[in-house]
Structure 1
Amino acid sequence: MDSDKPPVASRQRLFLALWPDDGVRRQLAAHAEQWRWPAGCMRYAPQDWHATLHFIGDVASEKVQSIATAAALPLQPFGLVFDQPRLWPRGLAVLCASEPPAALIRLHEALGQALGALDLALDPRPYVPHVTLARRAEAAIAPRVFAPVQWPVQCFALVLSTGLKAPRYRVLRQYR
């Protein structure tokens, strides 16, 4: 066995997501700094911010390539505005899009069909585009006035959840 290479896990935890560029990350950071965060809150690091399109979950490593291929769908660039800070159940602090653009909904649906064709289970809940800013944030206070985050979407990604504190996620493939 080659000791210079890390072992390949037999299962991988995957999701498809909009992955921000540096400009969007700066906007998200400016927004996050306007919240009042309670002690004990687990804030996400800027490199971990994303907007999930579909959570895929644990899959056998040999299926990753077929998922990557199935997700290679055309993307029509669109603008997305995150303008609704919210506290969700179980202590999630999120920034939501109050008016998801039709191009985002079409992308979500097309990716869902591609994943369904691979017999992958899809989340049955309605799709709510959001960026998770923190966990254990039940007592957080969202800003009342802030500049909405303007996200010019030009790509999405297949992402691996590493199970580590850092890096929490690793982009396996980007689709433009």
Structure 2
Amino acid sequence: MSAPIPRPRPRLFLALWPDATVRAALREQALSWGWPDAARRYDEADWHLTLHFLGNLPFERLAGLRAGLAVDVEPFELVLDRAELWRRIAVLTCEQIPPALLRLHAALGQALQRLGLEPDARPYRPHLTLARSAVGAQLALEPPRIAWPVRGYALVRSTGDPRWRYDAVQQYPDPQCKPEPHLIR
């Protein structure tokens, strides 16, 4: 008798997920860049802003994570108004980080600690990645100004499947803050 095949451990993270209106503005911004042939541009269905990376965790932890990661969300507007190249990564970020985003990040960090997980100790640098291997990318002539109304966040699993990279495990509290099924499947 052979041993049971172990289930893979899902790779999890907490993120803000853009709605259709924000995604359209992001698409317009991405199309205005000059991309080198080697650039690996993210599909619009994959665009998100990571709050915390949890890592690869056992499936058995999911129920506890779903409940334990629920924190209050104060609605705010995130304005992506800076286009930058970080090493080989093309990102959109914000000149001013909204205090409510920092409070959400901190509350989720405390929730992770209560669950026995250690949040990243590095300073939080909110950004949305447009492409990797983007050396030589030409930023848009006009700086971005993408207003993103934030009302919630999602616990997301990386699928490892190229057809749909991410799957929302749980959304808090707004069901609009997750990958849309028609875009990820």
Q: How does the TM-score come out when normalised to structure 2?
A: 0.87
Percent identity over the alignment? 46
| Partners of 2:81 and 2:6 in 1: CA distance | 40
In the alignment, what sits opposite 1:127? 124
| Partners of 2:7 and 2:128 in 1: CA distance | 28
In the alignment, what sits opposite 2:108? 111
**Shift in Å, 1:144:** 3.2
CA RMSD of aligned residues (A): 1.4
In the alignment, what sits opposite 2:67? 69
In the alignment, what sits opposite 1:42? 40
| Partners of 1:155 and 1:55 in 2: CA distance | 17
Structure 1 segments of 4+ aligned residues over 2 angstroms from their partners? 7-10
Report the secondary structure of 1:73's partner residue: coil
| Partners of 1:116 and 1:69 in 2: CA distance | 14
| Partners of 2:121 and 2:71 in 1: CA distance | 22
- 2:105 pairs with 1:100: no
Report the secondary structure of 2:10's partner residue: strand
| Partners of 1:36 and 1:108 in 2: CA distance | 33
Report the secondary structure of 1:28's partner residue: helix
Report the secondary structure of 1:66's partner residue: helix
Which of 67, 83, 86 is the matching residue for 1:85? Answer: 83
User: Deviations along 1:103-149, whole A, 9 cap, x unmatched?
Assistant: 11000000000001112122111111110000110111111313411
Counting matched residue pairs gives 169
Report the secondary structure of 1:168's partner residue: strand
Q: Which AA in structure 1 matches 2:124?
A: Y
| Partners of 2:135 and 2:67 in 1: CA distance | 39
Report the secondary structure of 2:91's partner residue: strand
Report the secondary structure of 1:162's partner residue: strand
Which of 142, 145, 153 is the matching residue for 2:142? Answer: 145
Q: How does the TM-score come out when normalised to structure 1?
A: 0.92
**Shift in Å, 1:8:** 8.8
In the alignment, what sits opposite 2:169? 172
